[in-house]
A and B are shown apart, each in its own frame.
Chain A
Amino acid sequence: MQANQFIRVLKKLTMGAGIMVEMPFLRLLRFVPISAIQEMFNANEFILEGAGRAVEMARSRTGESNIFAKVIEDCRKEGDIDDMDVRIEAMNIIIAGTDTSGVTLTYLTWAVLQRPELQAALEAETAELKEGFTENDLIDLPLLNATIEETLRLYGAAPSSLPRVVPQGGTKFAGHYIPQGVTVDTQAYTFHRDPQIWSDPLTSVIFSAAVPRLTNRSFNPQRWISSKEGYTAEALSPSAKTAFHPFGAGARSCIGIHLARMELRYAVAFFFRECKGIRLAKSTTPESMEFENFFLIAPKAHRCEITFGRP
């Protein structure tokens, strides 16, 4: 299998899956004899085949190990998981771990580069790191982590509905009776922008005549930082803590949360250490970065260009 082809399919997979759920009639498209479209809608079968590799690697003692080596070993002792299960979970990791982190990092880059003061402060904070820094050193950087959290608030990659079914006996929410069997949807998008929880919660871009200029302060990492004098950050209030769920909530929340945060911290730290003074390219605009939402979000233009040269 060609890794290139594999990745191309992956890039289309989440979109294909999202479209299929939201617009079931489009399932018919998979019969259209255009290879790109077929690839998109048949991506699952394709990837399943490739994921057989995960089983092979995990079972072979010679190759590099993957996380399933441990899983399979644990399973011998207690419970069962067959090869198909491993394939499916390997796919889950790829699907859940690729667009999510990639998109979040893209929006973080975009949000910060629009704010030169914030960018300079992050460059200063990360410049202080010693050469062989570890994730534990990064956890101690207040602005780096606040910027990541603020990105997850406004641009977390999965802000859409998490449908759940009302259990037997029905339920009562805010005075409304909802019968059993009804689907209830909660969205991070809504809770992360609730003005009763977050001050100045929304992003809005205002254009002046010539140059697009951001006049809002809504992307504000400071809301995550408590002061030494005992002021508790807004984002750490009990209601904000409950409302904030970029990785979902409860037993079904994202299993990859620690991996995601590790990846985000390292990427952000290296980026602002190495790329001082980098700017958005002219092609990167509020329009090009508008959300496209098929369960996961992505920038509409499917690119976000930056440069050291003239923008």
Chain B
Amino acid sequence: MHQQYGPIVRLSPTEVGVADLDAFKEIHKIGTKFMKSDWYLRLANFPKAGVFTMLDPREHGPRRKLLSRSFSRSYLVENWESVVREKALLAVTKIKAEAMQSTADVYNWWMLLASDVSAHLAFGESFRMLETGHVKPD
């Protein structure tokens, strides 16, 4: 689309597609005046806004700061690296065993790895999906 019509394309009366690098910088720079649109509220339809959906930077800033510490590289390396390492190795072990038998579905295994890691961080306990293997259909 941008190849045909150029870097700025009007998509609807209220929406414009932007593929210009300077414009991109302006829109997404730190301290930008371009706020997230309320599209995000519809994407994540939660009872309250969270760090992903808070539109107002005065609300978002403190929340982001609060969570940032737990996601900083140094904090992760100190507290979570061994968990991530262990689960990644387990996923690969499972893939290897299955691929030797017949075929291994890496989409399934990589998803299970990612969900076990995020669940362990978010809830403090893994879903242990990698141990269980496939997600059973209904």
Residues of A within 8 A of B (CB): 3-4, 6-8, 10-11, 17-18, 20-21, 24, 35-36, 44, 48, 51, 53-54, 57-58, 63-71, 74-75, 79, 81, 84-85, 88-103, 105-106, 109, 134-135, 161-168, 171, 173-174, 176, 178, 181-187, 190-191, 194, 197, 239, 242-243, 245, 248-252, 255-259, 262-263, 266-267, 269-271, 274-275, 278, 281, 283, 295, 299, 302-309
CB-based nearest B residue for A88: B50
CB-based nearest B residue for A90: B122
Contact, CB under 8 Å: B99 / A165: no
- Encode contact with A along B34-69: 1 for CB under 8 Å, 0 otherwise: 111101101111111011100001001111101111
Specify which of B6, B18, B92, B120 is in contact with A270 (CB 8 Å cutoff). B92
Specify which of B7, B37, B84, B104 is in contact with A183 (CB 8 Å cutoff). B37
Contact, CB under 8 Å: B34 / A164: yes
Contact, CB under 8 Å: A105 / B45: no
CB-based nearest B residue for A172: B23
Q: Can you list 11 residue pairs at the A/B interface with Cβ under 8 Å?
A: A53-B123, A54-B124, A98-B118, A164-B36, A174-B8, A185-B17, A250-B30, A251-B57, A259-B76, A262-B84, A309-B102
Contact, CB under 8 Å: B106 / A262: no
Contact, CB under 8 Å: B124 / A66: yes
**Count of residues in B whose CB is under 8 Å from the partner chain:** 99
Kindly state the separation between the CA atoms of A103 and B111 in the bound complex, as whole angstroms. 7
Which 4 residue pairs of A and B lie closest in terms of their CB atoms, listed nearest first? Answer: A66-B124, A97-B118, A102-B111, A266-B88
Contact, CB under 8 Å: B36 / A252: yes
- Residues A250 and B32 in contact in the complex (CB < 8 Å), given A17-B44, A90-B122, A183-B14: yes
Contact, CB under 8 Å: B21 / A191: yes
- Residues A105 and B135 in contact in the complex (CB < 8 Å), given A79-B66, A98-B118, A167-B33: no
CB-based nearest B residue for A79: B62
Residues of B within 8 A of A306 (CB): 95, 99, 103-104, 106
Kindly state the separation between the CA atoms of A294 and B35 in the bound complex, as whole angstroms. 22
Would you list which residues of chain B between 66 and 84 have a CB under 8 Å from chain A? Answer: 66-73, 76-77, 80-81, 84
Contact, CB under 8 Å: B107 / A106: yes
Contact, CB under 8 Å: B80 / A7: no
Contact, CB under 8 Å: A17 / B43: yes
Contact, CB under 8 Å: B24 / A242: yes
Residues of A within 8 A of B33 (CB): 167-168
* Nearest CB of B to A73, in Å: 11
Specify which of B18, B30, B45, B92 is in contact with A184 (CB 8 Å cutoff). B18
Residues of B within 8 A of A24 (CB): 42
